[in-house]
Amino acid sequence: MTGVPERNYPAFDKATILLQDCGFTVLNPASLDVDMQLDTRMTWDWYMRHAIRMVLTADAIALLPGWKNSKGACLEREIGQALELDIRLLEDWLLA
């Protein structure tokens, strides 16, 4: 999300809709600003602490295109692997 235009929120929001349309319950880290009614941008570590909490409660992870270029997504994936979550590319979830 860092360094990507609009923090990549449009891609996260689109993925959320696509996954929900397939019947999945989605935890979207891009929703943190809205959920917490934030008026200002918080620090990277603030977002990661909240995103990691989401990973800890999740059953699976959908990786968006470009995830390998994201320090946060790589960390979330690593935690998910340690927890033996079902981790797939977004497109693979949509084909399920």
Per-residue model confidence as pLDDT tens digits over 47-76 = 899 999 999 999 999 999 999 999 999 999
Structure confidence at residue 23 (pLDDT)? 97
Structure confidence at residue 33 (pLDDT)? 67
Instruction: Please provide the distance, in angstroms rounded to a whole number, between the alpha carbons at the two ends of the chain.
Output: 26
Query: Would you say the pTM of this structure is higher than 0.85?
Result: yes
Confidence of residue 96 (pLDDT cuts 50, 70, 90): confident
Angle at Cα 61 formed by Cα 35 and Cα 1, nearest 5°? 55
Q: What's the rounded Cα separation, in Å, for the pair 87 and 62?
A: 6
Q: Which amino acid is at 8?
A: N
